[in-house]
Structure 1
Amino acid sequence: MSTDDLSTQVREFLSTRRARISPEQAGLPAYGGNRRVKGLRREEVAMMAGVSVDYYIRMERGNLSGASDSVLESLADALQLDEAERVHLFSLARTSASPSRARRAPAPVTVRPVIQQVLDAMPDTPAWVRNGRHDIIAMNPMARALYSLILEDPRRPANTTRFVYLDRRAPEFFVDYERIAQDAAAMLRLEAGRNPTDKALIELVGELSTQSELFRHRWASHDVKFHRTGVKRLRHPVVGQLDLDFESMDLSSEPGLRLNIYTAAAGTPTADGLKLLASWAASQLGIPTEMAAGETA
């Protein structure tokens, strides 16, 4: 990331956060009915953050170098940033202060055998490991069956966000496609703030920006988001709709990698769907169906 690129990220992130807050939301009186700016004025943000107008203008022009943690916290409060947005603001500030220190060691491109053992020890549950670019690093058979459409792309590592934005089947596969697309871009934006020198991430963003108008729009919003827990609804081409609970967690032993696990409450249609998926996955691997269903051979 060049200095100009970083300045642009800072400027657009701060200006878009400022534009979304009305004076009423900030608890400020809205004098007059014809405001020339959307959201808050720079002067109003500076007042609430406890800094001079000139200092805030310098920050919004892309210069966060030298900003103390207390100033950043006050700015985050003034702009009503959520947890992910605060992390992103501090990441941008660290890079501004020391671009050379922003370079991080690349995440592993494979997992240790014991991690694969952990995945395979969950035979009835789709489980997989990804990096911050959303490259799939490792999977168990259930995850391969669940994401069989994504794995049809011959490029490796397979990338879930590339599928979301560039595969025509994605809107049908993801029941909540608009939210999925928005979240995918927001998570990539968060990763770009954390790891601005990741060449592969820069190339992925370039590819998606070139080929997807929707991605360009989502990327330009400068939204950021954590992806830790929730519900993912999929229309699987073999077993039908699955409403899956997901948990995503950092692998502390593998910095930069996250473990994703999809489950369903017992007795639900999705739990039955996962049993069908297990049988289908077993048939693809040549495993007897009764063994796949957990019955005594």
Structure 2
Amino acid sequence: MAREQQGRNSGTELGRFLRARRTEVSPEEVGIKVGPGLRRTPGLRREELATLAGVSIDYYARLERGREVNPSPAVLDALARALQLGEIEHKHLHDLCLRAARGQSPDQSMPSRSVDPGTELLLEHLRPFPSRVLSRTMDLLASNPGGLRTLAGIERWPVKQRNIARYVFLHPMARELFPDWEVMTRGCVARLRALAGTDPDAPDLAELVDELHLKSPEFTQLWESYDVRGFAQGHKTMQHPEVGTLTLRYQSLLIEGTPGHRLVTYYALPGTPDYDAVVLLDRADQGHSANPAEEHRG
């Protein structure tokens, strides 16, 4: 997607989000009886959603077209209920309106890629558990050995190219590594979509989204679905070329003092085959630094 398409104003982003979520809700799910005949509109019609939310059809149409960008919190809550939004989607709806009220993005500078020494020390002490520091657009900023090696083959990419979304969609090993590749792709797009809603003109985001649109039809299809749900914890199964199948739990935590940076750690119980596998990955001869900052200094 070209920069001018991805960087539209938030009023349009609000409308696109409402339209995308409206198409995902069937009339039957909200108690609307559908008569015979073919419906041209997937999901709910505008007038159906407006009625469910208790607003006029004209007002809702203005919201979706980006001509009304300042709905009250009560209206947003009513739309969220009608659309059956989850907590993250509900918050995103409110964030879109706050962004529209500001008019301009507060900061168009590139965010910091620096990882402070304390976080680097934490990565070291989390070994053997694979751990990474990611930017808001999922750039791989630092990792311990297992954090890099669990992304099989990414070490062959230049440091600045290492990005989780880029890896999932474009690296030839990603589909083999992740049996739930489709779930991974949806999670990556959801995180980028959430950022696009609140900071659509961010240069780091626009550059990555442009590249993925150009190189991955799967990304383009998912981008248009406008899913913003994310995953802060759970489990991940991998078919790793060095240690075979392993299933790890994970946690994703924001790092205070560095906006947008997250620490992601994968773990397994000691004494299990999965734990033995992460120990092997941690101890394997690297032949390269797991920390991009160290590679730059070298």
What is aligned with 2:57?
53
Q: 1:23 to 1:154 in 2, by over 3 A?
A: same
Q: Could you tell me which of 286, 290, 295 is aligned with 1:284?
A: 286
Q: Could you tell me which of 122, 125, 131 is aligned with 1:121?
A: 125
Deviation at 1:260? 0.3
Question: Kindly, what percent of the aligned residue pairs are identical?
Answer: 37
Q: Does structure 2 conserve the Cα–Cα contact (< 8 Å) formed by 1:88 and 1:224?
A: yes
* Structure 2 Cα separation of the partners of residues 121 and 104 of structure 1: 35
1:249 and 2:266 correspond: no
- Return the letter of the residue paired with 2:217: E
Segments of structure 1 that go 5 or more residues without pairing to the other structure are 287-297
Deviation at 1:5? 5.3
Q: Deviations over 1:98-152 (max 9, x none)?
A: 2225547754311111111111111211111111100011212221232352222
* TM-score, normalised via structure 1 length: 0.88
Q: Deviations over 1:244-275 (max 9, x none)?
A: 11111111332211110000123322112112
Q: The residue matched to 1:217 in structure 2 has which SS? A: helix
Deviation at 1:168? 1.6
What is aligned with 1:83?
87
Q: Does structure 1 conserve the Cα–Cα contact (< 8 Å) formed by 2:50 and 2:56?
A: yes
What is aligned with 1:290?
none
* Structure 2 Cα separation of the partners of residues 105 and 74 of structure 1: 36
What is aligned with 1:232?
236
* Structure 2 Cα separation of the partners of residues 150 and 9 of structure 1: 33
Q: Could you tell me which of 112, 115, 119 is aligned with 2:116?
A: 112
What is aligned with 1:194?
198
Moved more, 86-95 or 134-143: 86-95
- Structural mapping, 1:136-285, within 5 Å: 136-156=140-160, 158-280=162-284, 283-284=285-286
Q: Could you tell me which of 44, 47, 57 is aligned with 1:43?
A: 47
Q: The residue matched to 1:220 in structure 2 has which SS? A: helix
Moved more, 265-274 or 112-121: 265-274
What is aligned with 1:289?
none
* Aligned pairs, number: 284
Q: Deviations over 1:73-101 (max 9, x none)?
A: 11111111112222222222122222225
Deviation at 1:15? 1.4
Of the two structures, which has the highest relative contact order with CA contacts closer than 8 Å and spacing of 6 or more?
Answer: 2
Query: How much is the aligned-residue C-alpha RMSD, in angstroms?
Result: 2.2
Q: Does structure 2 conserve the Cα–Cα contact (< 8 Å) formed by 1:103 and 1:197?
A: no
Q: Could you tell me which of 11, 29, 34 is aligned with 2:33?
A: 29
